[in-house]
Structure formats: structure tokens, C-alpha cells
Structure 1
Amino acid sequence: MALLQVAETVVVLAILLTVAGAIRRLYFHPLAHIPGPNLAALTWWYEVYFDIIQPGQYVFKIQELHKQYGPIIRVTPDEIHINDVGFLDAIYAPSTTRRDKYEHQLKSLRVPGGVGASANHDVHRKRRDALSPFFSKRNVVYLEPLIIKKVEQLCEVISKHAIEETPINLSDLFFAFSNDVVTNFLFAHQANMLADEEKAAEVRQNSSELLLGININKHFAWIPDFLEALPLSISKPMMPPGLLDMLALFDRVRTELIGIVNAKLSGRASEKPLGPTGKESVYASVLDNPSLPPSEKRLLRLEQEGALLVLAGTESPAHSLNIIFYHLLANPAILTKLRAELSTLPQTPISWTKLEQLPYLSAVFEEGNRLSFGVTARTARIAYEALTYTPSPYVTSSSLFGRGKSYIIPPGTPISTTTLSAHTNAVVFPDPFVFNPDRWLGDEGRERRKFQMAFGKGGRKCLGIELARAELFLVTVALVGRFEMSLWETGESEVEFVRDFQVALPRVGSKGVKVMAREL
């Protein structure tokens, strides 16, 4: 009897605490004055539903909510989203202004040691400063021959298909190309995935499947925590192939790190030309950095750093190339205009730093990057000062609710604007889902570039932007100039953004961009 009374008391207390918590979140929370659905303010299960039950749909649901509630809404009990590109600089401030990332969102990546997964502003700056020399434009220019070598190999693979008159999966080839470039750029060990198309297709598929677990990681971190706590002999058979690929990458990075340390201890010098950084690999640069404490040079931390750099450096440029080539081939007039501009180039090889000065070519890249959407997940920033949000002239007509009303955002609040919101703002980008490079030309085009978020914005802007630009320019010029290609069994659904799993994913079952090619 006493046990039953205790159980009843516990249940009653639980109900009272739940009700009290709900009342607080709805009426007494620091964000209670922010519009939005009550369910989102009450519980994280609202987000879980659209992340997992309706997989990868919350960014699209948020866009619908803005039409109902206005340009600023509460999307979880402690987070707000602002559908107003006029507020981007306040959220994604420069590195001189402290902005932390939101740790809850970083759980999805499972690599806390990576520079992109650093929540703390100061930790991020130290990690980034150690890597910046290796990713500088100067070093990318020095290592341009490495990229060109891979571009030539890519052309050889396409040429082989052209001779045999067989279809080409550009998505697989772009994935392999980007993976090889970023791996060979960063590390002393060399990768050659581009030499094996079947392997490239397998690894790309594995990587896509691994991304599907990202929202599980964020909301139910105890599941991967439990699996990682098991002995590898037990957990390995349960791991998806993409995770096994990442473990293999960890092993390669570990081997390289050990080799660097042993070389330093033995006094051996590298036989390779070392370029402007004076380092053979990015890890030699990090290990020799005097501003990093020993804790930042731990093996596990550096393995995670390497894994995140490779994943980001593969997925982002490969996806942009998919978008660019699909739309070039689906819009012959755009391709003709691009070829007309490229026909003015001399026959001798030209550095990508010269190619990026071509206005229409640059406009094609800006539009491709815009519709690739970069990191599509909410990437909230936390300000340590109170912010005041007043809707700007960029607020779209579909979000007139609350126009002109100001809102005080308390310090410590996670705030975000998704790339979907920014890149489809109809005031800045009329007909936002239409691939139109002309929108980036002239003074208006230059003005639009401040709203480009494919590589992030502010002090956390993508570290590898110069490397990615070099890849995009060199690949596009080489393929457009050498091959006549036509889409093969490929429609817009193969590239259309319909699922958010950190990056833009197309429909389930998409095979990627496939083409037939012939040499010009």
C-alpha cells in the first residue's frame, strides 16, 4: 500500500512539474514574447517530429511557419529563427565579435575536435588560426598543379566514356575528384579514388547514408554514445558502411600523425618541396603551432579535425559541381553564353585566379553555389549581448505579420537564418528557384554577394573557400571547353533540395547527374 502511495505521489509530482514547466516556457520564458507555434515553444519533440518522423523536413516547415507568424519565430523552446537577410550580419558577426555556436546542433557531427564543430568562440579562433596558412589563397595557388593533375585525370575518365559511348555518372566522378583533391592537399599520403569509378560510387553512397543518421545523433546522442562504448569487435558489424569509411580515414590520419612525430624526433627532413607554409601536410603545420596547447594536439582531436576537413572538402565542391553542370546542360542558352566568354581565353593554361575575373563564369559559380545551399541545417550563433531585431526592407510580402515591430533578443539566445531562407528570399533573388547567372552581374550582382551563404558568413566562414573556388573554376572550364555533354536519364529531381541532412539531399533513390559525352 505504501509503495502504491509513493508511486501515485511521484506521478502527481511529475504531472505538476510538467505543467509548471509548460506554463514557464509559454508565459515566463525569456523568449515567451517571440511568435511561433506553441508546440515548438513547449517541447523539442516538435523539432524531432520534422527531423526524424518527417525526415529532414524541419527547414521547410520553418519556411511555412514564417508565412503564418512573421519574420522572427521561436523554433524550439530556447532557439529562434529569423527569415530576414537584413539581419545576417548581426547573427553571423565578424571574428572580432564573440559568437559561440550552439552545442545542441553540433551533436549531429560527432567530431567535437574539428574546427567547424567548435562551439566556443576562442577555441574556434585558435584552431582556425593554426589551419589558416595552409588554406590561404597563396598556398592554394602554390598547390594548383595538384588540382590540375586531378582535373586532367577527370577529363581522361570522361574521354574514355565518350570513346566507348557509355553513360557517365558525374556525381560519382565529382565526389571522387573532390575527395582526392582535399585529401592530397591536406595530407602527405595520397588518395586516388578517381581511378576506380565503382569505388567512387560506393563511397558516395556510403557517405549519403551516413548523413541520414545526423538527426539521430542530434536528438538521441545516447544511441551513438552507447555504440561507441562497445568493443569494436561488437559494434563494427552494426556500423553503416559510411562509418566504416570514416574509421578507415581515422586510421590513415593516425598513421600520418605518428609518421610526422617520428620524423620530428629523428630529425628527418621532408624531401618534398614545401611551398609557402614550409610544411608537408596540414598536420605538420598544426603540430608545430606554438599557440596551440598540448590538449589541442591530442591524437583523437586531430583525427576528428582531419575527418571533418575531408568530409566538408569533399561534399561541398562536389555538390556545387552537380548543381552547376545539371543547370548548364538543362539550359543550353546559359551554356552557349558561357562558352562565348570562354572562347576569348588564350589557348595556354590559365590559373584559376585569372579565371575568377571572368564575369559570367563567376556568375555561374555564384548561382551554382546559391542553389547548392551549402550547409542547410540551422547553424545558430549565440550572442553575449542583447540584440534588437526590427524587420528590414528585405522581409518578403509573405511575412508581413509583425512588420515594423521590434523584438529584444536576450543574451545567450541561439539565433539562426538557414541558407534556404537566405538564398530563396524573393526580394533579393526574384524567381529564387530558377538558375539565372545574370542576377550576379553588374552593380546589383555585386550587392547580392553579401547575401551569399553557401560558404557560411562572418567569423566562421568556410576555411576552405579558396580551395573550393579553385576546384570549381578549373573543372568547369576544362569540361565545358573539351566536351559536349547531354543529360542522360536525369531530371531536376536528381538535384532538387527536398531533404535536409546537414547538406541538401535530393529525393530518395536519386542516382545523381548522369550524362553522355563526346569530345569537341
Structure 2
Amino acid sequence: MLFTGATALLILFALLIVIRRRYFHPLSHVPGPFLWSVSSFPVLYHQGIEEGQLMHILPALHEQYGPVVRIGPNEVHLSNPSNYDKVYSVGYKFSKDPDFYGPMEGPLKTPIILTILSAKEHQIRRSYLNPFFSRRSVLDMEHVVRDKTGKLLHLLKSSLVSAGVFDAHHAIRAFSVDVITEYAYARCWNQMDQGDWGAGYQLAIQDVQLFFPWLQTFPFLVPLFGLIPDWVNTMVFPPFKKWYDSLTIVRAAVTEVRKEISLGIKPARRTIFHELMDPAPLDAPEFGSKTREPLSDLSIFADAVNVTGAGAETTGSTAGRGIFEVLSNPEVHLKLSGELVNAFPNPEDIDLLSLEKLPYLRGVIKEALRLNPGLPGHLPRVVPSSGATFDDVALPPGTVVSMSAWLMHHDAAIFGPDPTTFDPERWVNESNMKEVEDRIWAQEKCLVAFGRGSRNCLGQAVAMCELFYTIGTVFRHFPPGSIDVHPEFSREDLQLTELLLGYHPRKARKFKIVSGRNLAVVN
């Protein structure tokens, strides 16, 4: 009897919560599916159980309910591209959602640049690294990307000659890891020299993110997750070992650099560790000549790990998508190779500034970014105390609001009636027509693969350098007919999922390149 009474009370309590959330909540006027408006379970189901499928569900919801859709008891998703700058612009007042970003601190057990909620605190932390990842710094360090690209090209050629097949999926990601660890740490991890191309590390980064949807739904678990010793996580989840091995390497580097600085040893070149340990004056005018607070070794370690993990998958995935699409479109392959041969009669003369001037190559890279953005999914922000209105729908302070690069990049009103098609011509204006120029400008506004505003991707300049070098070098050396996509690989294997970073499903076949009928003509 007591059990029956308690059960009845629980049912009544749950029913009251449902009624309140659906009919008396400050967001009750926002359209959306019933279950989504009263529970976080639908998002958890698509993100946690289906492993990142939410971004593929949202288009249908917007088709049914309009540009403003309630996707949680206190969360709204927007589809109108004109709202993007209002939420994510440089002068934004929308802070990051702590329930979404907080769990990302769990594995590292400290805040990182990505998870800092306050705009001012983020600006201070980012000021340590902005010069290091600036375009000028990338041009100064261009030789790192050039050398690693040359190594990747050699491995591609030798693998095709000896085995007729090349594991492009893992190799390109290994290339990205080697670039960012050499660039940022001056301590290359040499994953391109490993027999498995560092596949274990790449899988571990993905597996870590599988926990995020669960921790975001049940944030009270985050402190408990942080208390679990590393050896326990490794024992329960064996793939984590590669992740923890990488953390050990970074911790050792932090300790080593800290010791060198204390001994007055001048480095051959500054690294990300030197920048993060430097209490130089802030460069933002509003801070005057105030010096920065010294960062703890734990914070330095966490930011360094974040740079590597994010840079490896995002750039590698986009470069792989670009190469796949060119190989899958003979006309695109022919035109791109022709442009590269004309620009570089001697393939050894390739350089970034020259690559950036090639309009068709730029179009190929922008299409790769459009169809395979590094952060494709929703990135929640919190409506400020002043409230906000989107498409005539008023949202009260404290509402969580988000937009998705995936939806913006597939907006038919911007990218035409077939936005899923890979078409570099979208970005080319050979005739210099004003109408085409205006269309390209509108597309540029909607291309948010790196985000926009003060929280855009820190490593954007490095990533673009990698993309120009990998795609440009591969197709300067491999004309049509010399290489092809492995016959067992299909476009379906490239479907993106949103964990935090964009990933291909774990069960998908990995992108491989095979020898073509004219491999012998490669120079």
C-alpha cells in the first residue's frame, strides 16, 4: 500500500512537471514537438544512444515548426542564417551554456579555452595564444606544413606502388597530428611513422566525446567523472589508453619547458608552452598595460591538449572529404589538376601564397569545409538579461539558444536547390558578374566552418594552410586516372555525426585510395 501511494505521488509529480513545462513555462509559446518540450530525452537519444545524429533530425523539425524550434525544456534551436551574428558575433552578450561545455572539462579536470563561459575571461586566456596562431606566425612556420606534406606525399606514392592501396582516413589525420605537435610543441609525435598511423589515438579522442551527451544531460555526474583515476578509466575503457598516453607526453613537455625557463635556457623557438607561461601585458585596449595572471601548469597542459585533439580530427576529416570529392568527380579532378599544373610547372615550387591565389582550388576547399565542417552541430549560448527576439519569437533571459553549421551550410535559399552536391563552381566568378559576386558574398556569410566572432577557431590559419597544402599537393602530383577511391568505400561512409567535433560513424568504412590505370604518369 505504501509502495502504491509513493508510486502515485511520483506519477503525479512527473505529470505536474510535464504540464508546467508544456503549458506554463516561459517557452510554452515556442513551437516544437511535445516530448522535446517537456524532456531532455530526445536530445540525449539522438546524441548519446544514436551517437551524434541530432543534426540530421533538426532539418525536419524546422521544416515542420519553422525557424525557431523548442528542442528542450529550456533550449531553442534557430535555422535562419541571419540570426547567426546576433548569437555568435564579436560583440556578443550571449555566454556559453555551462551544462553543455562543462562536461568537456571532465577528462582534463580544469577549464580550457573552449569551455570558459565569461567573454572577458575568454578574451584574456585567448590573448596568450592569438599571436602564436596568427596568419603571420603560420607564414613564418610554413615550412612545417610543407615538410609534413612532402612526407605524406612520399608515403602515399610508396604505398600505392607497393600495395596498390593507401589508408587515407588515418594517414591524413596522422599528418594533422604531426603538423600541430611540431608547430605548437616543437615535439612532433611522428604518427605518420607509426604502423597504424596513430589510429588508436584518433579513436580514443572520438570515444572520449561519446560521454559528453550523457554528462550534458546529467551534469551532476561531471564532478564524479573527474574523480575517477586515469588507471580505472583505462581498465574499464581500454581505448582510453592512447588518450592517456598522449596526456602523459604533454604533461612531461610542460614540466620540461617550465624547468628550462627557470634555468634561463633560451629555446630554439617559442612553443605554445612558452606563450602560455608568459605573463606579458594584455594587448586588448580595455585592459591597458595590465599583466596577465600566471596560468597553472594544469591549465597550460589542458589548453595544449585541447589544441592537439581539436586540430587532428577537424582538419584531417575536411581534407579527406575534399580529396574524396575530387576523386569522385572526374570533371572536378581534371579542372583542378589543370589549374595546379599551370600554376606550378615544377611541383617543388608550391607555396601557400601561390596556392591561395588559385580560384578553383579555393572553391574545392570551401566546398570541403561546407560539407564537412569541423564543428557541424549545435553550439548552445545563453540569452542575456535583456532577452532576445528571433524571427518575431521573444525568448526570455536564461534561455539556451543554438544554431548549427550543418544546417546553415545546407540552406537551399543560399546554396541553391541541391546544397548536398559538391560543386566548387559555387565559389568561382570567372565572368566577374555582379550577380555572381553577390551570391558568393551571401555564401561566405553562411560558411561558418570555423565559427565566427571572438570565439572562432583559434587554429583557423594553420588549418587552412594544411588544407591548401594537402589538397593542392596531392592533385598537382596525381592527375586524373592515376588514383581512385577504393571500390568498397561509398559516400554514405562519410556521413557526419556531431559529438562535439564532427565524426564519421565508428562502424563506417574508412576512406582508402587505390592505384588508377595511369599511376605510372605521376611525377
Q: TM-score, normalised by structure 1?
A: 0.88
Match of 2:199 in 1: 201
Match of 2:422 in 1: 435
Show the 5 A alignment for 1:190-339. 190-221=188-219, 225-226=223-224, 228-241=226-239, 243-270=240-267, 272=268, 274=269, 280-290=270-280, 297-339=295-337
How far the C-alpha of 1:179 sits from its partner, in A, is 0.4
Find the residue that maps to 1:289 and give its secondary structure. coil
Identity %: 24
Match of 1:186 in 2: 184
**Alignment partners' CA distance in 1, 2:313 and 2:277:** 26
How far the C-alpha of 1:234 sits from its partner, in A, is 3.8
| Counterpart AA for 1:492 | R
Aligned pairs, number? 491
**Alignment partners' CA distance in 1, 2:400 and 2:337:** 45
| Counterpart AA for 2:266 | A
| C-alpha distance after superposition, 1:332-362 (max 9, x if no partner) | 1001111121122143624313311211111
Show the 5 A alignment for 1:138-217. 138-217=136-215
2:376 matches 1:367: no
* Bigger Cα displacement from structure 2, 232-241 vs 99-108: 232-241
**Alignment partners' CA distance in 2, 1:294 and 1:251:** 27
Match of 1:459 among 444, 454, 463: 454
Decide whether the 8 Å contact of 2:314 with 2:502 is kept in 1: no
Match of 1:79 in 2: 75
Match of 1:28 among 24, 27, 35: 24
2:39 matches 1:46: no
Q: TM-score, normalised by structure 2?
A: 0.88
Match of 2:33 in 1: 37
Decide whether the 8 Å contact of 1:93 with 1:99 is kept in 2: no
How far the C-alpha of 1:175 sits from its partner, in A, is 0.6
| Counterpart AA for 2:319 | L
Decide whether the 8 Å contact of 2:279 with 2:292 is kept in 1: no
Residues 493 and 107 of structure 1, relative CA distance in 2, 3 Å threshold: same
How far the C-alpha of 1:28 sits from its partner, in A, is 2.5
Match of 1:63 in 2: 59
Find the residue that maps to 1:191 and give its secondary structure. coil
| Counterpart AA for 1:33 | H
| C-alpha distance after superposition, 1:106-149 (max 9, x if no partner) | 14523552211222222211111111010000001111111111
Find the residue that maps to 1:511 and give its secondary structure. coil
Residues 349 and 108 of structure 1, relative CA distance in 2, 3 Å threshold: farther
**Alignment partners' CA distance in 2, 1:438 and 1:235:** 48
Residues 260 and 240 of structure 1, relative CA distance in 2, 3 Å threshold: same
**Alignment partners' CA distance in 1, 2:50 and 2:317:** 23
Higher relative contact order by CA 8 Å / sep ≥ 6: 1 or 2? 1
Residues 321 and 233 of structure 1, relative CA distance in 2, 3 Å threshold: closer
Structure 2 portions without partners, runs of 5+: 283-290, 430-436
Find the residue that maps to 1:135 and give its secondary structure. coil
Find the residue that maps to 2:196 and give its secondary structure. helix
Decide whether the 8 Å contact of 1:493 with 1:507 is kept in 2: no
Find the residue that maps to 2:30 and give its secondary structure. coil
Find the residue that maps to 1:455 and give its secondary structure. coil
Decide whether the 8 Å contact of 1:374 with 1:456 is kept in 2: no
Find the residue that maps to 2:279 and give its secondary structure. coil
| C-alpha distance after superposition, 1:217-263 (max 9, x if no partner) | 3234566654542444444311341x322222222222121122212
Match of 2:287 in 1: none
How far the C-alpha of 1:41 sits from its partner, in A, is 1.4
* Bigger Cα displacement from structure 2, 508-517 vs 200-209: 200-209
Find the residue that maps to 1:408 and give its secondary structure. strand
Decide whether the 8 Å contact of 1:376 with 1:501 is kept in 2: no
Decide whether the 8 Å contact of 1:173 with 1:194 is kept in 2: yes
| C-alpha distance after superposition, 1:172-206 (max 9, x if no partner) | 11010000101111113222111124242333333
| C-alpha distance after superposition, 1:426-450 (max 9, x if no partner) | 1111211110111112312233111
Decide whether the 8 Å contact of 2:375 with 2:498 is kept in 1: no
2:406 matches 1:420: yes
Structure 1 portions without partners, runs of 5+: 275-279, 391-405
| Counterpart AA for 2:155 | V
| Counterpart AA for 1:51 | Q
How far the C-alpha of 1:306 sits from its partner, in A, is 1.4
Match of 1:411 in 2: 397
How far the C-alpha of 1:48 sits from its partner, in A, is 1.7
Decide whether the 8 Å contact of 1:228 with 1:235 is kept in 2: no
2:492 matches 1:496: no
**Alignment partners' CA distance in 2, 1:296 and 1:103:** 24
